Amino acid sequence: MKKIKKIKVALFTDVLKENLDGVTYTLYNLIERIPKDRFEFLFITPFPPSENVTLPYPVIVCRYIKMPLQEGYRLALPYFDGNLRRALDEFKPDLVHFTTPSFLGRYARQYALKKRLPLVSTYHTHFPNYVDYYFKYLPFLRFLGALVPPILRFFYNECSVVYVPTKPVLEDLVKIGIERKRLTIWGRGIDTAKFNPRKRDEKFIGNLCGKNTVRILFVSRLYWVKEIMTVIGIYKALSRIHPTVKMVITGDGPQRKYMEKRMPDAVFTGKVLHEDLPKIYASCDIFLFPSITETFGNVNLEALASGLPVVAAAKGGQLGIIKEGETGYLVEPKNIGMFCKKLSYLINNPDVLKRMSKKAVEYARAQKWDVLCREMFESYEKAVSDNHIKSEDLNEIAV
């Protein structure tokens, strides 16, 4: 029986540390489903997994510096790194995949073009929205926003495939000049065995929030860019009109103390992992997510799977997830009054809340990681096959 040659994939990611963010959440779901009879992987990162996490694939740790404004993150400096260059040449990849248009992503792009390899990327961070957010507060730097579209075109218009999580984000990229033919929608899945309404624990949530309370949950890293000020504004407004409401803030970050000072009656759980996270989701009643910089927002899908209707900002990835009036509401970004109106409606109408909860679970059950990962691996194979055909055509022309 003829042995099938495995496709070798060099995957460049600025973060491979487990449970850190949405990028690693997606990567670990992908890693778990790699068909070992068809693929070999080499991971290149400045931020490897913890010592207690063993991946079944080699990991090359490239040079880096710590990020001064992003606690816990590292900036890869892959150039002039002889070990990285040797590892790649020895591995001889058939395809290069990068996750971020960073220095590491630039190195991946350069390597793929030099070796005439297919290049693919997953789009995790919606940079145009980040620019809008930060430069609003730094108007003297607004001219830098004009650099973002050409930088993204530099990276993504060289890719065979760019995996974009939702249609609204895809259309945003087309508007700034990314060629539509390179873009494909590749969503995110959810483990409904882990996140589901059966994890609800009244005793557990009663100890946190008190009995007979309505619990509104916010799960995120606690950074300004996650619309922390909007969360605080909603808390203050709801506290005046709904004394039974308890806001639960799950996550950690540099703005936690700032929030705790201004939200004295809210429950701050810190970062929660493993079985306690699904239990917190399922034991709350409504999910709040005002962030405007998400390409997808995995937490929205975790909330829906747990039976929580979502009230989210009508911008970014959640536009492709939340079904207006069915699984939640999409609200004008930063509009605290409108957020409170939609939240109040759900608080005051338990029948509507129950109906939306059921619809949320139904939607989440259809979002399966197995299907999504199979689609990505098949697209890898197509990209490699197309590249072989292209190379053969070029060789014939040269002859």
pLDDT digit string (tens) for 248-305?
Answer: 999 999 999 999 999 999 999 999 977 899 999 999 999 999 998 888 888 999 999 9
Q: What is the pLDDT of residue 51?
A: 84
Instruction: Say what the pLDDT of residue 127 is.
Output: 74
Check if the beta carbon of residue 42 is closer than 8 Å to that of residue 57: yes
pLDDT of residue 352: 97
Question: Based on C-alpha coordinates, what's the Rg of the chain?
Answer: 22
Low-confidence ranges of the chain (pLDDT < 70): 1-3, 68-72, 129-145, 392-399
How high is the pLDDT of residue 1? 45
Q: Which residues contact 219 (CB under 8 A, 6 or more apart)?
A: 250, 251, 277, 280, 281, 287, 299, 302, 303
Query: What confidence score (pLDDT) does residue 28 get?
Result: 94
- Per the rule left: phi > 0, alpha: psi between -120 and 50, beta: everything else, 253 is left
| Same domain, yes or no: 314 and 380 | no
H/E stretch holding 45 reads strand 39-45
One domain, residues 249 and 141: no
Distance CA 287, CA 325 (A): 14
Q: Clarify whether residues 359 and 319 are in a common domain.
A: yes
Q: Note the pLDDT of residue 21.
A: 82
Range of the structural domain that residue 302 is part of: 197-365
Number of domains observed in the structure of the chain: 2
* Residue 285 within any structural domain of the chain: yes
In terms of domains, do 247 and 346 share one? yes
**Pair 318, 388 in one domain:** no
- pLDDT at position 132 is 60
Examine residue 33 and state whether it is found in any structural domain, yes or no: yes
Q: What is the CATH number of the domain that holds 346?
A: 3.40.50.2000
Structure-token pair, residue 237: 């407004």
Residue 385 lies in a domain: yes
Complete edge-to-edge strand list for the sheet that includes strand 161-164: 59-61, 39-45, 7-12, 95-98, 119-122, 161-164, 183-185
Residue 2: inside a domain, yes or no?
no
**171 and 214 part of one domain:** no
* 46 contact partners, CB below 8 Å, separation of at least 6: 14, 61, 62, 63, 64, 74, 75, 76, 77, 104
Nearest one of 12, 9, 42 to 109, comparing CA atoms? 12
- Output the pTM of the full model: 0.83
Can you give the pLDDT at residue 288?
A: 98
Q: Based on the fold, state whether residues 156 and 286 are members of the same structural domain.
A: no
